[in-house]
Amino acid sequence: MRSFPLHRLSKLTLGTVQLGMPYGFAVKTHPPNPVETMQLLDAAWNSGITCFDTAQAYGEAESVLGQWLKTFDREQPDPLIISKFPALAGDNTFSFVRDHARQSQQALGRQTIDAYLAHNAEDIFLPGVSDALQSLCDEGLIGSFGVSVYDPEILARALDIEGLSVVQLPASLLDQRFQHSGLLDRCAERGITVFARSVFLQGVLFLSPERLPDHLRPAAEPIIALQRFASEIGCPLASLALSAVLTTPGISSAVIGIADQAQLATNLEALEIRPELDAIEQAKKLCRGLPVSVIDPRQWR
Ligand SMILES: NC(=O)c1ccc[n+]([C@@H]2O[C@H](COP(=O)([O-])OP(=O)(O)OC[C@H]3O[C@@H](n4cnc5c(N)ncnc54)[C@H](OP(=O)(O)O)[C@@H]3O)[C@@H](O)[C@H]2O)c1
Name the residue among 243, 239, 200 with its Cα closest to residue 223.
200
Cα–ligand 1 centroid distance for 15 (angstroms): 7
- pLDDT at residue 89 is higher than 70: yes
Whether 46 has a pLDDT exceeding 80, the answer reads: yes
pLDDT digits (tens, 9 = 90+) for 237-246: 999 999 999 9
Ligand 1 atom, smallest distance to 236 CA = 31
- 26-30, 129-133, 287-291: lowest mean pLDDT where? 26-30
Ligand 1: does its nearest atom lie under 6 Å from the Cβ of 259? yes
Classify the C-alpha dihedral 191-83-299-285 as positive or negative: positive
- φ and ψ of 237, to 5 deg: -60, -35
Query: Is residue 58's pLDDT more than 70?
Result: yes
> What pLDDT, on the 0 to 100 scale, is given for residue 27?
59
What is the predicted pLDDT for the residue at 288? 85
- Round the average pLDDT of the chain to a whole number and report it: 95
Task: In whole angstroms, give the CA distance from residue 201 to residue 257.
Answer: 10
**Which of 23, 211, 255 to mutate to test ligand 1, by most ligand atoms within 8 A of the CB atom?**
255
Q: What is the pLDDT of residue 300?
A: 87
Please give the share of the chain, as a percent, with pLDDT higher than 70.
99
Q: HSE, CB side, 13 Å, CA atoms: give it for residue 242.
A: 23
Q: What is the pLDDT of residue 110?
A: 94
12 lines ligand 1 (CB under 6 A): no
Compute, in angstroms, the gap from residue 17 CA to the centroid of ligand 1.
Answer: 8
Burial class (CB in 10 A: 0-12, 13-18, 19+), 223: buried
* Residue 206 pLDDT: 92
Question: Within 10 Å of residue 159's Cβ, how many Cβ atoms?
Answer: 15
For the structural domain made of 8-207+249-272, what CATH number should be given? 3.20.20.100
Q: Are 41 and 65 in contact (CB under 8 A)?
A: yes
**Is the Cβ atom of 245 under 6 angstroms away from ligand 1?**
no
- pLDDT score at 278: 97
Residue 257, helix vs strand vs coil: strand
Q: What is the pLDDT of residues 171-225, one digit of tens each?
A: 999 999 999 999 999 999 999 999 999 999 999 999 998 989 899 999 999 999 9
Does the pLDDT of residue 24 top 80, yes or no? no
Confidence of residue 26 (pLDDT cuts 50, 70, 90): low
pLDDT number for residue 29: 80
Q: How many CA atoms lie within 13 A of 224 on its CB side?
A: 8
Give me the helix-helix angle, 220-233 and 237-246, nearest 10°. Answer: 100
Judge if the beta carbon of residue 29 lies within 6 A of ligand 1: yes
pLDDT at 28 over 80: no
Q: What separation in Å is there between the alpha carbon of 203 and the centre of ligand 1?
A: 6
Tell me the mean pLDDT in the region 15-22: 94
Distance 14 CA to ligand 1 centre (A): 9
CA 102 to ligand 1 centroid distance, Å? 27
The domain segmentation of the chain, as residue ranges, is 8-207+249-272
